[in-house]
Structures are given as C-alpha cells and as structure tokens.
C-alpha cells in the first residue's frame, strides 16, 4: 500500500476516548469497572457531537463499558432512530485493560509509591507492582485481533469508521497504526472525548515528549519537594544579600493564575453536591467561624495588641483553605472535590471571620484591612471558580485538557511566589517569628486531625483542606495593610507548612479510602456489567446507509 493509499484509508478512521467518568474525576483507575460519565463527561460528548454534526459514519465500534456507550449515544444520537444512523457494533475487545491490583487505586498514590517510571511501565506494559488483571500481551492480543479482524477490513471496504473506547485501547491502536514496537510506549495524554483522525495520529504523537511528560508528573506528585526547593533557593539568595520586595499585585497575579489552572482540573459541575453536604457545612462553620471568632473574642476581652503573637495566630485561624490543598488531596489519594468545597466555603466564611478578627485586633484602618482581606481571600477563589466554571461550559474538552497538562505550571507559579516572598524575609527575626510559624503549622494540623470526620470517604479531604491555610493570601493582605509582623510570620510559616507535608504523606495512609472499600461502588456510581453473550454471531459486512443495528461481539 502506497503512502497516499494509507493516508486515504486512515482519513476514514476516527477514534474517541470516552468523556470524563466518575473515576476520572477522583483521579482513580477504572480499568474494567463500569464507571458512568460525569456531568462534564456528557457535556464533552455533546461538544464532539456538535463539532462533527453532518459528518457521515458507516459504522461505530463501541466498548461495552457504560462510559464509552454513553459517549457514543450522545455523539451519534443512537436513541434517535435516524434512518442514516451508522451501524453500531459493541465489541468486548474494546474494553479497557483489566489493571488488577491497580484498579480503583489513586494514580498519584501509585506514582509516589512506585515512582513515575514504574507506574508508566505498569500501565503501558508489565510490572511486578501490578498483580492480577491482564498481562500486556493478553491486552495487546485482543485489541490487535479487533484491529486486524474488524477495523482494517471495514476501512479497506471504504467505510468511515469511529471507535469509541478507552485511553489505553486508543493509544494501543495508535501504536499499531504507527507500527511501533511493543516496548515503545508511553502516556500520550489523550484527553477525554477528543476525536482523533487516523491520518493525523503521527502529528499528535510527535507533539508528545515522554521525558518531559514524566518530569511534569514528577513536579505535581512531588510538589512538597519543589516548594521546599523554592524555599531553600529564596533563603539562600536572601542570605547572599539579594533583597527584593515584590509587588503585592504581582504576588496576587501569581496566586490567581495558579488557582485557575488548579481548578481547571476539578469537577466543578458537581460542586453543589459537596458544598451542600451537611458534614462539610458543619466542619467549615466550626473550623472557620466559631473557632477563630471565639478565640479573637477572648483576645479582645484580654485587650491583646494587634502585633502580639496571639493576634497573629487568630488571623491564621481565620485564614481559609488554599488551592494547594486540592493538589495535595489529589496526590495523597483524596476525592479532591470535597477539598474544593471546603476551600470555597472557607473563603466565603473568611469574609466574616477575617473581618471579625481584623476588627477586634486592629486599632485603626480597620475598614481598608477588611476590604483587602475580603477581596484577596474570598474574591480570588470565587472569581477563579466562576471563570473556570464558564470555561468548562464553553470549552469542556480543552479546559480539562489544559488543567491536566499544566498542573505542573500551577506548582511552579506558587514556587515562584515562595521564592519572591523569601527575598523579603527578615532573617534576623528568626528567633522572633520562626517559633510562632512552627506553632501555627503544627497547631493547624492538630486542629485538622481533631475535626476531621472519622471513617468517612472524605476524611483525607477534611484533613488536607484544614491543614493547608492560604498563607499566600495572608502575605498579600499583610503587605497591602502594612502589617510587618504578620507578613514575616506568614512567610516563615511557609517553611514548616511544606516541610510537614512529608508527615502528611505518611499520615495519609491511615486516612485514604482503600481501592477495595465497599463504599466505592456507591460513591462512584459503579455498575455491575452484564457480560455479552459468548455465542453472538459475527455481523456480515454492511453497506453505507443501512439501518442502525446493535451487534455484540465477544
């Protein structure tokens, strides 16, 4: 076959990875567990349908798993009984690989536990770290049988074909098309619902870089190391005499950009479920309203000054959760969305608690301080949420893809923030500020451990949300209000906060929900899959325009 003939044949092939599933939203491996689409997953499929409306397809091959079948239903309107609808063939060989012991594990937990390279090896070939499930040879053989026995014959008959399947199935077919050797594989970062055309696969693969993809993953998974490296770099530069007072507005810009990128990866469309959760509401009310207000009322009664250690501690008690907590939740194996709900609710509570704390501790310029705190704490999170929510509605595939691919950029932006603020750190004030900073970092962890819901699927998210206050916002508020002592304590707090993140990684193993936990089917809406009949007869070739027919292949 000439290159021109091959291009013409491949131009009739289209492949789609299913839309976002409930397992995707919590960053866990679904494998052959039957996870349905999320709200965003359905919107993604609708966008694909709109982008390819009017295009004729002769045949659609679909995995029997519900997330692929729902995607195909939305894209091709299989329920509409259109006379020109394509023939639909459900083929079990298009199911995702059975990942054995990796199934329903957190991807980030596996990457931390085994290393990025070993995780990629397990997902794309074989690894002793993954027990049970399918070997790569078994997976490859069944997908290759579909490729040789069904896909290529259909394309050679001149049919326009679409395959609606799963990430690793589509990537494996790409390898067959490119004639790559079995050991030449890596994550192509295939986004949910993006439709790939066969003759454009070489260009898509060319844009991927195996080494850089693994570096990006390493930055996200090992963000505590990156943050601590930023702290060390800033402190060393400061010690060497490099002093720089960065504009609070520059710092605020870095914080906003990092917040937007982080939120692009979160299932915001399902926020109401977690924001209205009674346990979350009680937790936020207790942690971010009752505790700080009661504490500052006590300070007011004792007539404590605004520069005192106790007054500064009161500010941190009122400080809402940070967007960093969402990244931490993902990397430690949490559900992510409950953490986002606490960050959002605590930022709203911050309007009251921050205002109360400042009003009761400051003696002058209370109104400007309250306005700054509301704008920076509540305003940043709320504005980022509304912006990203709109972006995900308008461009659901691109936005989710951007957030997933650029998580490392958010980490680097926050690292730049850390470096810049360390350059204005008063090193001579170590004995004055550092003990308070350490006390705050340790104390907040004790509070989080005490207030977390025990034996709950959201326990880890409760802990991470309350453990990582938005110190970045405190630095900005202090700089804008001229509160030097608060600013210095906030900068010093960054050091123990991220050093103690290594403790959090150890502690998380006692909080994370195990993959075999019986609550997962209910939490993720997993369904019991009904196997296809093993005696289903193969479908004979059909001509374009024939009536829609549902055929099941085993």
Interval 532-544 mean pLDDT: 37
How far is Cα 138 from Cα 90, in angstroms, rounded to an integer?
Answer: 20
Residue 220 included in any domain: no
Position 228 confidence tier, pLDDT thresholds 50, 70, 90: very high
Chain-centre distance for alpha carbon 371: 32
Give the pLDDT confidence of 30-49 residue by residue, as tens digits: 999 999 999 999 999 999 88
462 and 373 within one domain: yes
Q: Is the pLDDT of residue 347 over 50?
A: yes
Q: In a 3-state reduction of DSSP, which class is residue 15?
A: strand
Q: Is the pLDDT of residue 364 over 80?
A: no
Residue 329 included in any domain: yes
**Mean pLDDT across the chain:** 86
285 and 188 within one domain: no
254 and 180 within one domain: no
493 and 420 within one domain: yes
399 and 534 within one domain: no
Position 81 confidence tier, pLDDT thresholds 50, 70, 90: low
150 and 129 within one domain: yes
Q: Give residue 3's pLDDT.
A: 57
Position 486 confidence tier, pLDDT thresholds 50, 70, 90: confident
287 and 205 within one domain: no
Q: How many helices (H) and strands (E) does the chain have?
A: 29, 6
**Between these two residues, 551 and 72, which has the higher pLDDT value?**
72
Q: Give residue 2's pLDDT.
A: 60
Q: Which residues contact 523 (CB under 8 A, 6 or more apart)?
A: 335, 457
**CA distances for 253 relative to 259, 322, 414, 473, angstroms:** 10, 15, 11, 11
Residue 225 included in any domain: no
Q: What is the CATH number of the domain that holds 381?
A: 1.20.1530.20
529 and 458 within one domain: no
Q: Give residue 82's pLDDT.
A: 60
Q: Give residue 401's pLDDT.
A: 85
**CA distances for 165 relative to 64, 108, 540, angstroms:** 9, 23, 22
111 and 21 within one domain: yes
Q: Is-contact 345 498, C-beta < 8 A?
A: no
Residue 45 included in any domain: yes
Q: Is-contact 338 283, C-beta < 8 A?
A: no
Give the pLDDT confidence of 171-210 residue by residue, as tens digits: 899 888 888 776 666 666 778 888 888 888 887 777 777 7
Residues facing residue 71 across a β-bridge: none
Residue 351 included in any domain: yes
Residues facing residue 79 across a β-bridge: none
Residue 232 included in any domain: no
Instruction: Work out how many domains the chain is built from and give that number.
Output: 2
Q: What is the CATH number of the domain that holds 204?
A: 3.40.50.1240
Q: Which residues span the domain enclosing 451? A: 246-510
CA 364, 367, 371, 377 torsion: positive or negative? positive
298 and 186 within one domain: no
CA angle (326, 330, 332) in 5-degree steps:
115
Position 86 confidence tier, pLDDT thresholds 50, 70, 90: confident
Query: Given its phi and psi angles, is residue 176 left (phi above 0), alpha (psi -120 to 50 degrees) or beta?
Result: alpha
400 and 338 within one domain: yes
Q: Which residues contact 526 (CB under 8 A, 6 or more apart)?
A: 22, 33, 34, 35, 520
539 and 427 within one domain: no
Give the pLDDT confidence of 444-460 residue by residue, as tens digits: 999 999 999 988 999 99
Which strands, in side-by-side order, build the sheet including 13-17? 195-197, 13-17, 161-165, 59-62, 87-91, 550-553
Residue 221 included in any domain: no
Q: With pLDDT > 70 as the criterion, what percentage of the chain qualifies?
A: 91
Give the pLDDT confidence of 240-257 residue by residue, as tens digits: 988 888 888 898 899 889
Position 545 confidence tier, pLDDT thresholds 50, 70, 90: very low
Residue 412 included in any domain: yes
């Amino acid at each position: 076959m000439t290159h021109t003939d091959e291009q013409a044949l491949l131009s009739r092939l289209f492949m789609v990875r299913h839309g976002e599933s409930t397992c995707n939203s919590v960053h866990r491996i679904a494998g052959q567990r039957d996870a349905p689409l999320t709200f965003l997953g359905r919107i993604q499929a609708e966008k694909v349908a709109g982008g390819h409306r009017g295009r004729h397809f002769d045949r659609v091959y679909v995995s029997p798993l519900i997330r692929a079948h729902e995607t195909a239903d939305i894209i091709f309107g299989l329920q509409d009984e259109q006379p020109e609808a394509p023939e639909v063939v459900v083929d079990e060989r298009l199911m995702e690989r059975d990942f054995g012991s990796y199934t329903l594990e957190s991807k980030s937990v596996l990457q931390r536990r085994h290393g990025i390279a070993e995780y990629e090896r397990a997902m794309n070939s074989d690894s002793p770290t993954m027990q049970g499930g399918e070997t790569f040879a078994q997976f490859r053989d069944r997908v290759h049988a579909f490729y040789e026995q069904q896909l290529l014959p259909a394309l050679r008959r001149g049919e326009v074909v679409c395959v609606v399947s799963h990430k690793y199935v589509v990537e494996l077919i790409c390898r067959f098309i490119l004639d790559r050797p079995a050991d030449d594989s890596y994550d192509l970062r295939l986004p949910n619902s993006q439709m790939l055309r066969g003759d454009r696969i070489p260009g898509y693969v060319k844009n991927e870089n195996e080494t850089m993809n693994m570096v990006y993953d390493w930055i996200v998974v090992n963000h505590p190391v990156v943050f601590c490296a930023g702290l060390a770099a800033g402190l060393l530069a400061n010690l060497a005499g490099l002093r720089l007072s960065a504009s609070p507005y520059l710092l605020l810009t870095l914080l906003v950009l990092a917040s937007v990128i982080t939120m692009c990866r979160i299932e915001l469309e399902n926020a109401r479920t977690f924001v209205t959760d009674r346990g979350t509401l009680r937790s936020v009310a207790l942690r971010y309203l009752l505790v700080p207000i009661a504490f500052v009322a006590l300070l007011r009664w004792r007539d404590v000054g605004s520069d005192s250690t106790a007054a500064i501690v009161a500010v941190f008690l009122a400080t809402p959760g940070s967007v960093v907590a969402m990244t931490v939740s993902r990397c430690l194996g949490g559900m992510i969305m409950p953490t986002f709900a606490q960050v959002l609710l605590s930022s709203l509570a911050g309007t009251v608690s921050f205002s109360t704390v400042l009003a009761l501790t400051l003696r002058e310029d209370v109104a400007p301080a309250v306005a700054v705190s509301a704008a920076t704490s509540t305003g940043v999170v709320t504005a980022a949420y509304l912006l990203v929510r709109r972006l995900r509605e308008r461009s659901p595939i691109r936005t989710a893809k951007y957030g997933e691919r650029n998580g490392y950029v958010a980490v680097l932006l926050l690292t730049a923030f850390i470096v810049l603020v360390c350059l204005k750190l008063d090193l001579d004030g170590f004995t004055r500020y550092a003990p308070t900073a350490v006390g705050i970092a340790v104390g907040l962890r004790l509070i989080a451990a005490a207030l977390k819901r025990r034996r709950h699927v959201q326990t880890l998210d409760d802990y991470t949300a309350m453990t990582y206050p938005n110190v970045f916002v405190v630095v900005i508020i202090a700089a804008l209000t001229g509160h030097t002592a608060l600013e210095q304590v906030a900068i010093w707090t960054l050091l123990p906060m991220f050093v103690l993140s290594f403790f959090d990684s150890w502690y998380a193993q006692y909080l994370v929900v195990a993959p075999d936990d019986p609550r997962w089917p209910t939490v993720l809406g997993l369904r019991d899959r009904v196997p296809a009949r093993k005696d289903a007869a193969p479908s004979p070739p059909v001509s374009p325009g024939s009536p829609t027919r549902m055929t099941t292949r085993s």
